[in-house]
Amino acid sequence: MKIDEAKCSGCGRCHDYCTMSCISFARLPGGRVVSRVDEDECVDCGVCERSKVCGLDAIFEPEVTWPRSIRGTFSNPLIEHKETKVPGRGTEEMKTNEVTGRFPPGFAGISIELGRPGVGARLTDAGVLGKALRQMSITLEPRNPLTRLLDPVTGDCLPEVAGEKVLSAIIEFIVPVERMPEVVGAVRRLSSQVKTVISVDLVYRNVLGNDMLETVLALGEDPYPNGKTNTGLGRPRYGVRAGEVRS
């Protein structure tokens, strides 16, 4: 995002709408004060422009090319990913498992989100986690748009996108439920190596007395109580058998 300094009056009303707090005042030669966007910190989420807080229409979104274009697709919820055909940073099945049957009994769907709320993340941070997961022989979800920006062998961030910053990025994968403590432990160890906030989401079917909540608490984690409980009202598209993973 950019601000046309010829139009800007320097009122500062747009500052509070910036998700990354990267709009600040700048003094031009001659003494006039305007607002200016730190382009390196901006994630192109478009909130400042969509808010219509600027009565002078000084805020605008310039034409961008690869790899800068990554920022908008991962940060603006109105932009559709070419890979997933839906807006958002992950895959739809994380929220609609009762219809897709993607996470069968005995397996856990895990997503690791970096950068939200209000911090943002460099894709190099995603590479730190991706590399560790590949070393654990964990296969990342191929339909997640972030997976295409990580090396398929090493899991590290591709060099051409390493400097890009996004509002948030989500790493997704499926593991047997018994590996969940191993994953949580790895994320905890790696948290000191990334420069952003990390949150872990867990999707599973609570069957056969498998109380995942107690397992998470035993690991020393303090999970938020919000979540989605499938009530069986949806009819799975596929006949998913125990132990069968669909990716």
Predicted pLDDT at 216: 83
Predicted pLDDT at 234: 55
What's the pTM? 0.82
The edge-to-edge listing of strands for the beta sheet with 169-176 is 169-176, 107-114, 198-203
Check pLDDT > 60 for residue 244.
no
Strand spans (E) along the chain: 2-3, 23-27, 33-37, 59-60, 107-114, 121-122, 165-166, 169-176, 198-203
Predicted pLDDT at 94: 61
Extents of the domains making up the chain? 10-60, 82-218
Predicted pLDDT at 174: 92
Give tens-digit pLDDT for 6-32: 999 999 999 999 999 999 999 999 999
Instruction: Work out the average pLDDT over 169-173.
Output: 93
Check pLDDT > 90 for residue 122.
yes
Check pLDDT > 60 for residue 84.
no
* Percent share of the chain, pLDDT over 90: 60
- Tokens linked to 97: 């498992």
For residue 104, name the pLDDT band (cuts at 50, 70, 90).
Answer: confident
